[in-house]
Structure 1
Amino acid sequence: MRIGFIGLGNMGGRMAACIVRAGHAVLGYDVHAADLKTAGSVAEVTDGSDIVLLSLPDSGVVEAVVLGEDGLRAHARSGQIVVDLSTSSPDSTTRIHGLLGARGTAYLDAGISGGAAAAEKAALTLMVGGEPEALERARPVLDLFSAKVFHCGPSGAGHTVKLLNNFLNATALAATAEVMVAGKKAGLDLEVLLAVLNASSGVNFATLNRFPKIIHGDYLKGGLTNSLMLKDVNLYVELAAKLGVASLNSAGPVATFGMARALGYADEISNTVVDAIGDLSGGVRLHTGEDA
């Protein structure tokens, strides 16, 4: 199967690298990795691939790549598979699914979770929407960078699950960052605080996997930025409104990551939200020697 990849940033580049390490050639567009064969356009990738993977910032970019002039749709063909690994609006996803389906092209929405570290280890979790048959044809490629692949339902279901997951992720990160700043200002030993949280009901992904490193100045690399986290939370708010769900908990992460963006942390990894909170709390830094 000929594999194309469009959009190789923090996550896309790592996923493509996993495919290359497994011994497969990848034709990429917007690529800076030396071990990939680069293409000059979206059209060239589409024409030269049986499966095209997309890893792009948002629905607007996905629509431009797929539906734009001389874009993917103009070159898509029957039997081809397109897998959107971006975090996108489910409404946009189902629209693209219908337009590509009219050409006989399968379109899968595949939200990803696990961050840059999991991408490098080929240990991502994928949540996929679309036809089961198309997923089974794509699975040998998806398995090259994923440890778990879930079929979540019809088109749009994968991106819906991704928004639900990212909302919980954002809420836990924002709340934990605030708690850690409060702990530092209270004079607590942060190692002990984390040990207590991880043995108690406050345990979450951030307490287990993020802050044991952050308190020593390691913010991790390549993960979702504050700006993209805010984008995902806002997509969740739109989804909740459409579904008629009272989103009483969305104000916290919207305010937190919006504040981080306003304070200049937009393009920094979302873990730096703790520094943005620290800035508003007297210049607090969790790790020794970094108090402002």
Structure 2
Amino acid sequence: MASVTLEIQDALAVVTISNSPLNLFTWEMLDQLSDIIDEVTAAPIRALLLKANGQHFSAGADVPAMFERLSTHAAEAHLVRHIPLMARLQELPIPTIAAVRGLCLTAGLEIVLRCDLLWASETAQFAQLEAMIGATTLLGGAQILCERAGPARAMEICYSTSIYGVVDFEKWGIVTKILPDAELDGDAVKFAKQLSKGPTRAFQATKRLIRAAAQDGACAADRLVGTVGAPLLETHDMRAGVKAVAEHGARNFKGKFTFQGS
């Protein structure tokens, strides 16, 4: 039985981690996630929500299953396959949101950091614990923390192996919204469905500009504005939006690139 599953609700992909009791990750679960990203990419999906069953999002990697007696050659083969998976999740051309409660450690944190938005419950706790077993963040956690919170903070999180509360992670710009535990899943689904009905191509353009600015600075993003912004005028959504403003009517976003009538 798969520990990572996909449910499609209209144009929303809901990806759920389920490996009780602590949702520990294995290489096989990462392969399952990779297959799901393939499905999402091939389907008319316009937003993605990543969540988990149980009290905890994930207590991290199943260390014995993943690393015991693993050779350097075998480890490199796994990482060569799975680091691109993390990049593919991060670069999906649709809005992505992770909903986290309880523990979100090591591999679990590295995966949710690849989502555009990280919503967390009031009891959520985060950590990169890899240094405790003499490892670094093998799925890219250190570099994404650097991008979101700055290099010094990323080093502190990875060096210290401390467990941080949700308030600190929000203050540092890693968590984007804090919610009561009882409201997390419902509000996250509601917001993700709202995004899935929005101007998908505009979201894609915005995401591309923000990624360019985060990686190479605002000037790099400026150079892309014409390339990613001008084609939006040919989309159904922008034409519908402009018409709605002109006529004081309702917007009717479809997520389509080519305008197909009024």
TM range (shorter): 0.3 to 0.5
Of structures 1 and 2, the one scoring higher in RCO (CA 8 A, sep 6+) is 2
TM-score, length-scaled by structure 2: 0.33
TM-score, length-scaled by structure 1: 0.30
